[in-house]
Amino acid sequence: MDYEIIKASLDYQETLKNLLQLYIYDFTEFIDAHVEENGRFSEYPLSDYWAGDHHFPYLVKLNGYYAGFALVKWIETETKPHFSIVEFFIMKKYRRASLGKLIAKDIFRLHRGNWEVFQIEKNKPAQSFWRSVINEYTSGQFIEHVVEGKGITQEFVS
């Protein structure tokens, strides 16, 4: 499989904004979001991804075509600083080809350290995907927390 992960500089902002529209559309299955008068979802707040050292936007290409993205953030806490997958999207036509699994594992390798990956309670496909990927990546060495009414978080070290 010929795929590539591109660190998205500010030059890629429009591409990322456009892909985010597809992502939000897919996500409306789980959240209450509606298109605005212009026929688009409200803009995702991306400015931090080019303003500091703690945000990492990535675009994904497969065979030369855009196929998705990953937004990663370094979160500083007093107890456990960690990386987090803030948003992760692979277009539906590429999901069954294991592209998401390959990209997720590569992202974990790019950012060594503590990780937390959260999925909202309603998004059962994401929960299944992340459990499988993280279990495979860590050989079962992860902790899962369930917060009733909110969602699920997996914690591990890459």
Indicate the pTM of the whole model: 0.93
Q: What is the pLDDT of residues 117-149, one digit of tens each?
A: 999 999 999 999 999 999 999 999 999 999 888
- What pLDDT shows up at residue 78? 87
pLDDT higher than threshold 90 for residue 30: no
Kindly report the average pLDDT of the chain as a whole number.
94
Q: How confident is the model at residue 106 (pLDDT cuts 50, 70, 90)?
A: very high
- What pLDDT shows up at residue 120? 94
- pLDDT over 90, % of the chain: 80
Q: Can you give the length of the chain in residues?
A: 158
Using DSSP's 3-state secondary structure scheme, residue 24 falls into helix
- What pLDDT shows up at residue 63? 95
